Amino acid sequence: VTADYDAIVCGAGPAGSLAALVLARAGARVLMLDRARFPRHKLCGDTMNPGALAILRRHALEQVAGDGLPVDGMIVTGAAGLRVEGRYAPGVQGRALERRELDARLVCAAVAAGARFDDRVLVQAVEVDESGRARGLVVKPRDGEARRLRARILIGADGSHSRIARQLGLARHPPSPRRWAIGAYFQGVAGLTSCGEMHVRRDRYIGVAPLPGGLTNVCVVTSDRALLRDQPRLLAASLRDAQLADRFAGARMVMGPVCMGPLAVECASPGIDGLLLAGDAAGFIDPMTGDGLRLALRSAELAAAEALRAIEHGAGDGASRLAAERQAEFAAKWRFNRALRALVSSPTAVRLADRGLAMAPFVVRTLVRYAGDVRAA
């Protein structure tokens, strides 16, 4: 059976768009699908760390974040009054801009590179033949009939709730830790700087990021399910925090709250014969480190390189090679991210860290630089 495309990329977030762009620039016939109508909102802290920007630069895509607000580092606070400002490094910055904008621009870049993009198309299922190789997809356009599409290689970049990874038994939300994020946008927040903010408290943390146009992104992450029943209340209570209340006194919520979770995704393997996973579909640890976009973009580069090999030489063992490459590149960062997640999940550890870090602020500064992938910038 002839393939309709060399590659079909499922999901047009940053991972999907970058994979589609790399493949299209290499001359592949690429189709990218997304169930959402673009541009679409995505719950996120809206900051790209220096390492993520470096990947964009490598593909001459820096203009997609060019009008984002420069981010010089992170301010970390604790309940007992800890406040440490960690700057990335002289001349090294991240950028903050709404994902709605960023993702739409990356889609445009993929289309300009030659990829075809169809939004409002739900990927319903992957078709796997008797040898265990993924051959195609069943897709359902919003206003049309379900149909089959075939490609020489498929890329699943359909995010942390990936239907593809779930159907193939490749990924799952682990029973623990289970955490949820509530996000909203505000206007009129006082006391913002050129740094993002992470306010770590006993049963939650609160990320605050200034965005262009006077907008401020606020994300609250908690594992307390009882708190989620009334999200506006959880958000309001979080912003009554001693270190935030004055700054939000004159602020107005202009969008939200939106809830997402469970957040963590564990992935057993980043693909099967004929299909490779990229971005959050292949695993996600926690938003706290603010490096999800860098990991998603880098994993898209790795998946696209394997996909090109599959297009040229046949699918074969691309998934196991991709697993080895991901392990070599990401294992240290995954360990770091898990360690930080474990720390903020324990009220006792948060309390002790609050005291300890007040005496050793350089530790926070080092953590901010590592989380920001400054070495990769």
Ligand X SMILES: Cc1cc2nc3c(=O)[nH]c(=O)nc-3n(C[C@H](O)[C@H](O)[C@H](O)COP(=O)(O)OP(=O)(O)OC[C@H]3O[C@@H](n4cnc5c(N)ncnc54)[C@H](O)[C@@H]3O)c2cc1C
Q: Which residues bind ligand X (CB under 6 A)?
A: 10-16, 33-36, 42-49, 52, 122-123, 157-159, 163, 181, 183, 219, 260, 263, 279-281, 287, 290-293, 296
Instruction: Return the number of the residue (249 or 342) whose C-beta is nearest ligand X.
Output: 342
Instruction: Return the number of the residue (30 or 157) whose C-beta is nearest ligand X.
Output: 157
Q: Print the SS3 string covering the chain.
A: CCCCEEEEEECCCHHHHHHHHHHHHCCCCEEEECCCCCCCCCCCCCEECHHHHHHHHHCCCHHHHCCCEEECEEEEEECCCCEEEEECECCECEEECCHHHHHHHHHHHHHHCCCEEECCEEEEEEEECCCCCEEEEEEEECCCCCEEEEEEEEEECCCCCCHHHHHCCCEECCCCCCCEEEEEEEECCCCCCCEEEEEEECCEEEEEEECHHHEEEEEEEECCHHHHCCHHHHHHHHHCCCCCHHHHCCCEEEEEEEEECCCCEEECCCEECCEEECHHHHCECCHHHCCHHHHHHHHHHHHHHHHHHHHHHCCCCHHHHHHHHHHHHHHHHHHHHHHHHHHHHCHHHHHHHHHHHHHCHHHHHHHHHHHCCHHHC
Closest distance of CB 15 from ligand X, Å: 3
Instruction: Return the number of the residue (124 or 351) whose C-beta is nearest ligand X.
Output: 124
Instruction: Return the number of the residue (43 or 82) whose C-beta is nearest ligand X.
Output: 43
Closest distance of CB 196 from ligand X, Å: 7
Closest distance of CB 77 from ligand X, Å: 17
Q: How far apart are CA 66 and CA 69, in angstroms?
A: 8
Instruction: Return the number of the residue (143 or 312) whose C-beta is nearest ligand X.
Output: 143
Instruction: Return the number of the residue (176 or 352) whose C-beta is nearest ligand X.
Output: 176
Instruction: Return the number of the residue (120 or 351) whose C-beta is nearest ligand X.
Output: 120
Closest distance of CB 39 from ligand X, Å: 10
Closest distance of CB 40 from ligand X, Å: 6
Closest distance of CB 263 from ligand X, Å: 5
Instruction: Return the number of the residue (52 or 215) whose C-beta is nearest ligand X.
Output: 52
Q: Which residues pair with 116 in a beta bridge?
A: 31
Closest distance of CB 130 from ligand X, Å: 24
Closest distance of CB 63 from ligand X, Å: 18
Q: How far apart are CA 71 and CA 158, in angstroms?
A: 28
Q: How far apart are CA 110 and CA 236, in angstroms?
A: 39
Closest distance of CB 311 from ligand X, Å: 21
Instruction: Return the number of the residue (48 or 235) whose C-beta is nearest ligand X.
Output: 48
Place of tokens 């990927």: 123
Q: How does strand 30-33 pair with strand 116-118?
A: parallel
